[in-house]
Amino acid sequence: MATKGIYNTLSEEYPEILGVVKELGKTVRGAGPLGGKESQLIQLAAAAAIGSEGSVHSHTRRALEAGANRKEIDHALLLLISTIGFPKTMMALSWSRDIAE
């Protein structure tokens, strides 16, 4: 399961539940004026703020796919220093760079 990831595994085991979650995300992202890149950077920052390594990995990957570059991703996370603290921000940057590098 480690190579496939928990989200993909659960998507196969519970397609109706994960399908609804995926559709909700798509609906919310499409409901406002922000583009895909901005939406993913915001979700990346939220993932970092709650300390979710898997979500930081996922939203880093999605931000890259949406056109963000590593400097934009780093900046989105560095903006969190005064909010979540330096150590947590560095942790999130480390997780993000697992994917971005």
In tens digits, what is the pLDDT along the chain, a chain of 101 residues?
445 678 889 999 999 999 999 999 999 999 999 999 999 999 999 999 999 999 999 999 999 999 999 999 999 999 999 999 999 999 999 999 999 88
CA–CA dist 67, 36 (Å, integer): 8
Containing domain of residue 15, as a range?
A: 1-32
Residues in CB range of 100: below 8 A, 6 or more apart: 60, 64, 70, 73
CA–CA dist 90, 17 (Å, integer): 33
C-beta of residue 84 within 8 angstroms of C-beta of residue 48: yes
CA–CA dist 83, 94 (Å, integer): 18
Claim to verify: residue 86 and residue 39 sit in the same structural domain: yes
Claim to verify: residue 9 and residue 51 sit in the same structural domain: no
What radius of gyration do the chain's Cα atoms show?
A: 14
Claim to verify: residue 68 and residue 85 sit in the same structural domain: yes
Residue 5's pLDDT is 79
Residue 16's pLDDT is 96
